[in-house]
Structure 1
Amino acid sequence: MNWDWEKLQDKRQRQFGSGPDFKGLGDEFKRLGDFNFNVPGGPKVIFIILALLWLASGIYIVEPGEVGVVKRFGAYDRTTGPGPHYHIPFPVESVLTPKVAEVQKVEVGYATTGMKQEGGFQYRSVPEEALMLTGDDNIVDVQFIVQFQIGDPVEWLFRIQRPVPTVKAAAEAAMREVIGNKTIDSVLTTGKLEIQNTTKELLQSILDRYNSGVTIVAVQLQDVHAPKDVMEAFKDVASAMEDKDRYINEAESYANDILPKARGQAAALLNDAQGYRESVVRKAQGEASRFLAMLAEYNKAKDITHDRLFIEAMEEIFSNPELEKVIISDDALKQVVPYLPLDRQGRVKSGDKGGK
């Protein structure tokens, strides 16, 4: 095939004026044409190269943490694991590789808008998602995230048209149902862990009924508070409840400290009383035994025993240095006024001392 490039250039110059010189480019096209039409088998070689490239396009690699889902004419055909694989090239078969090991999350009640200049993330509240009604007819602002994984890639790809928005809508519905069965005090204080666990179970059951192929990893409350209009009043209530708990803890701590001491003191008093009782009883029994023995001797010899008892009593009195003695004979006693130490009687009685 011969092209008249000089006539072509003249024609272009007449139409567009002087322009770039295409003479060298024309030589290249000429040589390419000579290759295609003058070399034996030229079109067949090109066709074979294109066919090989088309066949090679069926090679694909599934990365770790992914699953290969092969579609044949748009319908599910088979699933492949990590590694190199082959499928019939387009348009017969195609491959999707969802990341089944990746933990995805959706935000409910708020949205991340970007990074702050000083670090961290910027958030904005989404009231239509966050405001929920509790079981005691109070409004509460609930912000939470749902973490999930692809459990069944086939159901994830073919059962639901928009899986991520579906997970978010189901999570919001599950949380509203759980919050609707709780009081606002429980939601704001002690019931958060139970709310998370119950919402996770309910959300998983909803997604299982949808055949969504989603596995819920966790439901985490990020922020739970009363609406802004009544925020201060709820803060006062929460502060009062904290003070109540603190006073209860302080009282229990004081009781735990004082009660063992009181029990110990009571046990010590009981032991002392028991010991004193035993001592008094045994002393009284001893005195009674001694008296009975003495009575037996007295019955045998009354005069001697009487004199011996008198002598022993007088010996005990006179030998006691703490007793003040005044000795007056019978004759002197008839002639003088009896001596009574009235000035010492008070002191003697107060000191548990006797005098004769």
Structure 2
Amino acid sequence: MAWNPKGGGPWGGGGGGGPWGGGPTPTPPPNIEDLLRRSQERFQRFVPTGIGGGRGLLLALAAVLAVWLATGFYRVQPGEQGVELMFGRFVKVTTPGLNYWFPAPIGEVLTPNVEQTNQITIGFRGGEGGGRAGATRDVPQESLMLTSDQNIIDVDFLVQWRIKNAADYLFNLRDPETTVKLAAESAFREVMGQTSLEEALTVRRQQVDDQTKELTQAILDGYGAGVLLVDVKQLKVDPPAEVIDAFNDVQRARQDQERSVNEALTYRNDIVPRARGEAERIIQESAAYREKAVRDAEGEAKRFISVHDAYLTGRDVTLRRLYLERMQDVLAKSEKVVIDPSGGGTGVVPYLPLPELGKRKAEETRR
């Protein structure tokens, strides 16, 4: 009978398994060579048979490697940019089309859409298409702003933006949309703080939009955000709801004032040119009368001088001519009847009212 060296004697002393079963039989330790052999047998089950174990293993590894390398092909769609990473670090940006890069886990490719226009609403939430159509919810902490004349204005506006540089957009900003929103809101408050309430509500709305867009773009470029601002557009510009009634009263009073001023300007523009024209007409008539009076006086003086010179040359002739001219002027204005005594007629009355008869005949003719 064989003895178990670890049994402790024939009576099973010491925990051994003697002939009387004095204790449990201990488990022998695992054999390393058996473990290796069984592992090799399991591995060989997956290796193709008939062509040799080593060669089949190489072929299997080559096939796996080929499939892995084939996963490196990727396509960038129109409107996208491909951003290639190696071990998580940016390498380059690729254009749309079929490209190749190291497969995972060595390489990785991100393809953000750089032509899609994104929009952010500031001052309100909800609406259809990003506008104020439909149900909206006002956000006073964003919409209430202070103008340069210490007035409060309630502004809702829309910011539209696109990706300008995919690499900067992906790696320089943790939350691009929030960054764009905060930058636009800050820029809008700065521009509005330099604009009066009246200008913000009327004549400078487009200028406020343009200045906000330029300032926001400068802020984002300073961050290296890779974002292009497309448009900034105000959707609603009103005084706060608590004072809008009083503000409307002020606006109506200003409109009445402007209407009165415009009516006064219209009256002035009508009466002043007419008064100036009348004054110019009187001046022209005065100048013409003066010119006529001066010319007449000069003519009379020259005529008198010529008569005086002629008188000095021939006094008798000049006196006779002056007498005849004067008599012609006097007789031309008097009523006279001339009777020729050479006719030899008799019975002619000494006086006939010929002028009166002539006037009476003229009156009858007019009737």
Same fold (TM over 0.5): yes
1:107 and 2:121 aligned: yes
**Alpha-carbon shift at residue 54 of structure 1 (Å):** 3.5
> Following TM superposition, by how much is the alpha carbon of 1:168 offset from its aligned partner in structure 2, in angstroms?
0.2
- The aligned counterpart of 2:206 is 193
Partner of 1:30: none
CA deviation vs aligned residue, 1:103-127 (integer Å, no higher than 9, x gap): 3221111123447xxx954432211
Counterpart secondary structure, 2:203? coil
- Name the counterpart of 2:304: 291
User: Which string of whole-angstrom CA distances, capped at 9 and with x for unpartnered residues, describes residues 12-68 of structure 1?
Assistant: xxxxxxxxxxxxxxxxxxxxxxx9888757998887666554433322111222211
Of 70, 74, 80, the residue aligned with 1:66 is 80
C-alpha separation between the residues in 1 aligned to 2:264 and 2:60?
93
Q: Partner amino acid for 1:101?
A: E
Q: Secondary structure at the match of 2:84?
A: strand
Alignment pair present for 1:179 and 2:187:
no
Instruction: Supply the distance in 2 between the matched residues of 1:150 and 1:59 (Cα, whole angstroms).
Output: 24
Deviation at 1:142, TM superposition (A): 1.0
Name which of structure 1's ranges 59-68 and 248-257 shifts more when overlaid on structure 2: 248-257
Q: Which whole-Å CA distance do the structure 2 matches of 1:265 and 1:170 have between them?
A: 64
Q: Secondary structure at the match of 1:236?
A: helix
**2:70 counterpart letter in structure 1:** A
- Do structure 1's residue 92 and structure 2's residue 120 form an aligned pair? no
Please state how far the C-alpha of 1:102 moved relative to its aligned partner.
2.7
| Aligned pairs (5 A) from 1:126-145 | 126-145=139-158
How far off its partner does 1:146 sit? 1.8
Is residue 127–residue 133 contact of structure 2 (8 Å, CA) maintained in 1? no
Partner of 1:151: 164
Larger-Rg structure = 2
Alpha-carbon separation, structure 2, partners of 1:168 and 1:304: 115
One-letter identity of the residue aligned with 1:66: E
Quote the offset at 1:128 in angstroms. Answer: 1.2
The 3 A distance-change label for structure 1 pair 129 and 284 is same
The aligned amino acid for 2:95 is G
User: Does the residue aligned with 1:95 lie in a helix, a strand or coil?
Assistant: strand
Q: Tell me: CA distance 1:301–1:275, structure 2 relative to 1, closer, same or farther (3 Å).
A: same
Where in structure 2 are the equivalents of 1:1-356 lying within 5 Å?
Answer: 51-114=65-128, 120-249=133-262, 251-252=264-265, 264-300=277-313, 305-306=318-319, 308-320=321-333
5+ residue gaps in structure 1? 1-34, 326-356
What amino acid is aligned across from residue 251 of structure 2 in structure 1?
A
For residue 238 of structure 1, report the CA deviation from its aligned partner: 2.5
Counterpart AA for 1:57:
T
Aligned match of 1:12: none
Q: In structure 2, what is the equivalent of residue 15 of structure 1?
A: none
Q: How far is 1:243 from its partner?
A: 4.0
Residues 287-320 of structure 1: CA deviation (Å, up to 9, x unaligned): 1111122223344555664454343223212213
Change (3 A) 1:59 1:190: same
1:85 Cα offset (Å)? 0.5
Q: Which moved more, 1:223-232 or 1:139-148?
A: 139-148
* Structure 1 residue 84 displacement after superposition: 0.8
C-alpha distance after superposition, 1:183-228 (max 9, x if no partner): 2222222222232222222222222222212222332211111011
For residue 231 of structure 1, give the secondary structure of its aligned residue in structure 2. Answer: helix
Secondary structure in structure 2 of the residue aligned to 1:295: helix
Q: Structure 2: where are the runs of 5+ without partners?
A: 1-44, 337-367
Secondary structure of the residue aligned to 1:89 is coil
Could you list the per-position Cα deviations for residues 153-199 of structure 1 after superposition, in whole angstroms to 9, with x for gaps in the alignment?
21111011001111101111111122223222222222222322222
Kept in 1, the 8 Å contact 2:158–2:235? The answer is: yes
Partner of 2:112: helix, strand, or coil? coil
The question of whether the paired residues in 2 share the 8 Å contact of 1:160 and 1:212 is answered with yes
Match for residue 8 of structure 1? none
Relative to 1, partners in 2 of residues 1:37 and 1:300: Cα closer, same or farther, differing over 3 Å? closer
What count of residue pairs does the alignment treat as equivalent?
A: 288
Two-structure CA RMSD over aligned residues (Å): 3.4
Are the counterparts in 2 of residues 100 and 149 from structure 1 also a CA contact under 8 Å? Answer: yes
* More displaced 10-residue stretch of structure 1: 268-277 or 198-207: 268-277
Tell me the SS of whatever aligns to 2:289: helix
Q: TM-score, normalised by structure 2?
A: 0.67
Separation in structure 1 between the aligned mates of residue 270 and residue 72 of structure 2, nearest angstrom = 79
Question: Counterpart of 1:76 in structure 2: which amino acid?
Answer: F
Out of 121-130 and 106-115, give the one that drifted further.
106-115
